[in-house]
Amino acid sequence: MAYGLLKGKKGIISGALDEKSIAWKVALKAKEEGASIVLTNAPIAMRMGEIKKLAEACEAEIIPADATVVEEIENLYTKSMEVLGGKVDFVLHSIGMSPNIRKGKAYGDLNYDWYMKSVDVSALSFHKFLQVAEKMDAINEWGSVVALTYMAAQRTFPFYTDMAEAKAMLESIARSYGYRYGKLKKVRVNTVSQSPTKTTAGTGIGGFDKFYDFADKIAPLGNASADDCADYVITLFSDLTKMVTMQNLFHDGGFVNTGISEDVMGLLD
């Protein structure tokens, strides 16, 4: 059911790779809620062609941009403002990648060039999205910027390796830039810390299926799906949450505050 929460708003949605992507669901719901959007992803992700289906469904243009390259982000905002007919009201950063995780490197055997790449793609890119937007004055007052994160920023999950540091940095950028952009333009910046979700990025992490099941058994509400996450992100883009900023918001069915559950105790019998 649509509520018209984003009626008349314009936004940029990054990170929709295929229909499992969290960003894919956010794009569909943003459209459903009345927004006009543009989609963006790394040029290499375009080759897979899936995003074109989403663009058709959302009547959206696709503007390729490698999120690590400032000039490409500048082009993204310039073209988005052209296509959408003005500044944007919301931006979704749904981007993460670790070469060390892809190659199965243990935390004690990380390749440092790859480590830098993980941080650049998964965290610094968020600062770049914000800094470029500020310099170009590309986001309307009371606009909302959301990035997706994971609880490994606060707690240790052994297979998350260098992405844990990248997420900690991402969340810190949300606080620091949230302060700055709030003062300057009343733009708010938050991160949403999502449950394990069966996407390309998610399932690439070693032991994913086990910790997906474990989280599902710990959280009193179970794991939050990508669709649920999209609903939550839409509320953060809407005016109903306009005083929420600089927060890391857990969207995890209650996992973060649960010590142990009967379900998990049952497994130990």
Query: Is 62 assigned to a binding site?
Result: no
Which residue of the chain is nearest ligand NAD when measured via CB?
202
Please list the helix, strand and coil fractions of the chain in percent, rounded to the nearest 5, in that order: 55, 15, 30
Binding piece for ligand NAD, criterion CB under 6 A, among 3-11, 81-89, 129-137, 191-199: 191-199
What three-state secondary structure class fits 11?
strand
C-beta of residue 157 within 8 angstroms of C-beta of residue 211: yes
Residue with Cβ nearer ligand NAD (48 or 265): 48
Q: Is residue 139 involved in binding ligand NAD (CB under 6 A)?
A: no
Q: Return d(Cα 5, Cα 216) in angstroms, integer.
A: 30
Q: Is residue 238 involved in binding ligand NAD (CB under 6 A)?
A: no
112 is a catalytic site residue: no
Indicate the pairing of strand 36-40 with strand 188-194.
Answer: unpaired
Distance between alpha carbon 169 and the CA centroid of its chain, in Å?
14
Q: Is residue 152 involved in binding ligand NAD (CB under 6 A)?
A: no
| Structure letter (DSSP) for residue 142 | E
Indicate the pairing of strand 88-93 with strand 61-62.
Answer: unpaired
Q: Is residue 41 involved in binding ligand NAD (CB under 6 A)?
A: yes
The residue from 80, 190, 197, 238 that contacts ligand NAD (CB under 6 A) is 197
150 is a catalytic site residue: yes
Active-site positions read 150, 160
- Binding-site ranges for ligand NAD (CB under 6 A): 14-15, 17, 21-23, 41-42, 45, 66-68, 94-97, 121, 148-150, 194, 196-197, 199-202
